[in-house]
Copies of this chain bind each other. A is one copy, B any other.
Amino acid sequence: MATPKKPPVPRAKADDYSEDAAQARRDFAREQTGADLTHASHYSIDPASVRGNVENFFGAAQVPIGLAGPLLIHGEHARGEFYVPLATTEGTLVASYNRGMRLLAASGGVKTTVVEQFMQRAPVFFFEDARRAREFGAWVESHLDDIRRAAEATSRIAKLSHIEQYAVGPMRYLRFNYTTGDAAGQNMVGKATFAACEWIKSEYPEGARYTLSGGIDTDKKHSQLNTLHSRGRRVIAEAMIPRETIREMMGVDTNTMFRARQASNAGAMLAGSVNNGAHAANGITALFIATGQDVANVAESHAAIVYTQLQDNGDYYWSITLPSLIVATYGGGTGLATQREMLEMLGCYGPGKSDKLAEIIAATVLAGETSLSSAVLAGDWVSSHEELGRNRP
Contact = CB atoms under 8 A, between A and B. Distances in A.
A130 interface: yes
A274 interface: yes
A59 to B, nearest CB: 5
Given A53-B90, A91-B53, A342-B40, A264 B129 contact: no
A313 to B, nearest CB: 7
Contacts of A56: 66-68, 94-95, 98
B76 A65 contact: no
A122 to B, nearest CB: 8
Interface stretch (A142-150, A151-159, A209-217, A350-358): A209-217
B111 A130 contact: yes
The bracket for how many chain A residues form the interface is 35 or more
Given A40-B341, A274-B274, A307-B169, A289 B55 contact: no
A313 B303 CA distance: 36
A321 interface: yes
A114 to B, nearest CB: 9
A140 interface: no
A281 B302 CA distance: 13
Contacts of A227: 269-270, 272
A37 interface: yes
A271 B218 contact: yes
Contact of A393 (B128, B276, B339): B128
B126 A111 contact: no
A173 interface: yes
A84 B282 CA distance: 25
A50 B8 CA distance: 35
Nearest to A258: B310
A243 interface: no
Contacts of A376: 211-213
A266 B168 contact: yes
A129 B113 contact: yes
B83 A9 contact: yes
Contacts of A173: 267, 270
A333 B137 CA distance: 34
Interface in A243-269: 255, 259-260, 262-269
A319 B393 CA distance: 9
B2 A212 contact: no
A18 interface: no
A282 B296 contact: yes
A12 interface: no
Contacts of A64: 43, 45, 50, 53-54, 57, 59-60, 336
Given A60-B62, A391-B313, A215 B294 contact: no
A129 B43 contact: no
A91 B298 contact: no
A108 B92 CA distance: 44
A196 interface: no
B95 A393 contact: no
Given A344-B33, A388-B126, A339 B61 contact: yes
